[in-house]
Amino acid sequence: MKPVVTAVALEYRDTFTFAKLDVNTEPQKTGEYHIRGTPTYIVFRDGEIAGAFSGALPSNVLVERILGILEIDETE
Amino acid sequence: MKTLTCSLLILSLALLVSTASYAQEETDIETLRAADVNSDGIINILDLVLLASHFGETVAEAQTPNPDVNGDGSVNILDLVRVANHLGETVRPPVAFVSADPESDVEITTNDSITLTFDNPPADVTVSTGFAITDGNSVAITGPFTPGDLELTITWADGTETLSYTIRPLVAFVSIAPAIDTEMTVDGSIIATFDNPPADVTVSEGTASIDGNSVTIEGPFTPGALELTMTWKDGTEIFTYTVTAPDTEAPSITGGTVSDGDTDVNPSAAIEIEFSEEVRGLVTLRTEADDNVGWITTFDGNKVMLTPVAGKELDPETRYVITVKVKDAADNRTDINITFTTGSAYDGIPIEVTDANFDTVVIESKLPVVVESYKDG
């Protein structure tokens, strides 16, 4: 488990759930969501895709991208 | 002496008639019939002979044969002259009424026809109501007749006959419900509508009851293809249906996101229950203490959805009960409970998702979910 993800998941556990999908062992969902590389982050809200992005990012950028997709202003 | 005198008279008259030239004049049928003393249809020497045999006699009016040709009470030379005047002429026999079909004093419909039979073809037929068509010895009288009491007078050249009937409306079939070639249940009923109250209604299956212009046919009917024949006084109709066997089977649970005894159920995910058929009734999510959690229940055909409500989230690692009290269209009831236990609360540790649990963990989650793809190794 990468420390970045673990830290973000723990810090924002009340805001979103963090899940991990192994593209080697779960080909159905990998294909269904057109995942072409790792890491790819797909943000779901109410069962629908709210947004997605790829690439290894620093924790602050990762959080920023996720909250942006979820339209959550951390300063509020 | 009388015979000799008559014979001489006859011969004289016959000679006179055979040699004289008479002006032909129209003679009424009754005069001709009287001259045809022996009623054989022709006026000839035999009538003269018969008349002569009674010459000089006084005869009763109703005597048969009646040689008093002119009806003056005695058989005399005037009778001989009258017969002699028509020698060689044929006499049409009087036409008598024989019967009516239907006979008088019965009930017929507005559209029925009445057939009269005579012993010979009648002439100059007229009727007081309807239209008369003469064909040989028969006369057909057709309507339509006006409902009510009918006194029908038939007049022909030789007589008059009066017949009485009660005219009722012809009862015609109008419609049927349910429509033919549809499905109906064993204990269903069919309503046939007529334009007037029908009489003498019989049906090949079920029981018929008449109420005004309607006939209700009630089952039980035999399951399968039904060909129902309905007969009433004025007609017959055949209706076809498919009779379905009664539904005695209660709805059952055939699937869903939660089954009885499940553990580790996502506390924030909606719950779907799938039944074997369309249901209605009550499905509620309750605590073990039987308190209603307050989730929203939605019926959609054979599916029931329990949707989370903000502020009424399920507690982690807690037993809940879904009480199911539903019935199908035939009122067959199912009354069962589904007991499950929620999983632990999300503790901030990323959840490993698979093809199998993806929908439960991601799609049905109340919280937003960020899925990170990774490649192990």
pTM (2 d.p.): 0.43
pLDDT at B263 (0 to 100): 87
Q: Which of B93, B92, B134, B130 is nearest to B117 (CA)?
A: B134
Q: How confident is the model at residue B23 (pLDDT cuts 50, 70, 90)?
A: very low
Quote the CA–CA distance of B69 and B174 in Å, as a whole number: 65
pLDDT at B14 (0 to 100): 52
Mean pLDDT of B155-171: 92
pLDDT at B164 (0 to 100): 96
Which residue in the set A11, A20, A38 is minimally distant from B350, CB to CB?
A: A20
pLDDT at A1 (0 to 100): 44
Please list every residue in chain B whose beta carbon sits closer than 8 Å to the beta carbon of residue A20. 350-353, 371-374
Quote the CA–CA distance of B283 and B305 in Å, as a whole number: 9
Q: Which of A44, A46, A3, A26 is nearest to B373 (CA)?
A: A26
The C-alpha of B309 sits at a distance from chain A's nearest C-alpha, in angstroms, of: 13
Please list, in sequence order, all residues whose beta carbon lies within 8 angstroms of the beta carbon of residue B32, skipping any fewer than 6 positions away.
B43, B86, B89, B91, B92
Q: Please answer yes or no on whether B374 and A38 come within 8 Å at the CB atom.
A: yes
Residue of A16, A21, A46, A48 best to disrupt the B interface, most CBs of B under 10 A:
A21
Please list every residue in chain B whose beta carbon sits closer than 8 Å to the beta carbon of residue A24. 375-377
The C-alpha of B244 sits at a distance from chain A's nearest C-alpha, in angstroms, of: 42
The string of DSSP letters for B302-316 reads TEEEEE--TT-PPPT
The C-alpha of A3 sits at a distance from chain B's nearest C-alpha, in angstroms, of: 11
Average pLDDT, rounded, for chain B = 88
Q: Is the pLDDT at B124 greater than 80, yes or no?
A: yes
Instruction: Convert the pLDDT of each residue in B272-322 to its tens digit.
Output: 999 999 999 999 999 999 999 999 999 999 999 999 887 787 888 899 999
Q: Which residue has the tokens 């996101």?
A: B257
Which residue in the set B361, B368, B374 is minimally distant from A16, CB to CB?
A: B368
The C-alpha of A4 sits at a distance from chain B's nearest C-alpha, in angstroms, of: 12
Q: Is the pLDDT at B324 greater than 50, yes or no?
A: yes
B310 — contact with chain A (CB < 8 Å)? no
Higher local confidence (pLDDT), B126 or A74: B126
pLDDT at B9 (0 to 100): 55
Q: Is the pLDDT at B16 greater than 60, yes or no?
A: no
Mean pLDDT of B262-280: 89
Q: Is the pLDDT at B153 greater than 80, yes or no?
A: yes
Quote the CA–CA distance of B173 and B190 in Å, as a whole number: 14
Q: How confident is the model at residue B21 (pLDDT cuts 50, 70, 90)?
A: very low
Pairing status of strand A17-22 against strand B369-374: parallel
Q: Please answer yes or no on whether A20 and B352 come within 8 Å at the CB atom.
A: yes
Residues B288, B319: contact at Cβ < 8 Å?
A: yes
Instruction: Convert the pLDDT of each residue in B35-79 to its tens digit.
Output: 888 888 899 999 999 989 999 988 877 778 888 888 888 899 999
pLDDT at B10 (0 to 100): 55
Q: Please answer yes or no on whether A13 and B347 come within 8 Å at the CB atom.
A: yes
Mean pLDDT of B338-351: 83
Alpha helices in B292-375 (DSSP H): 358
Quote the CA–CA distance of A17 and B285 in Å, as a whole number: 25
Q: Is the pLDDT at B354 greater than 80, yes or no?
A: yes
Q: How confident is the model at residue B12 (pLDDT cuts 50, 70, 90)?
A: low
Q: How confident is the model at residue B204 (pLDDT cuts 50, 70, 90)?
A: very high
Q: Is the pLDDT at B11 greater than 90, yes or no?
A: no
Q: Please answer yes or no on whether B373 and A43 come within 8 Å at the CB atom.
A: no
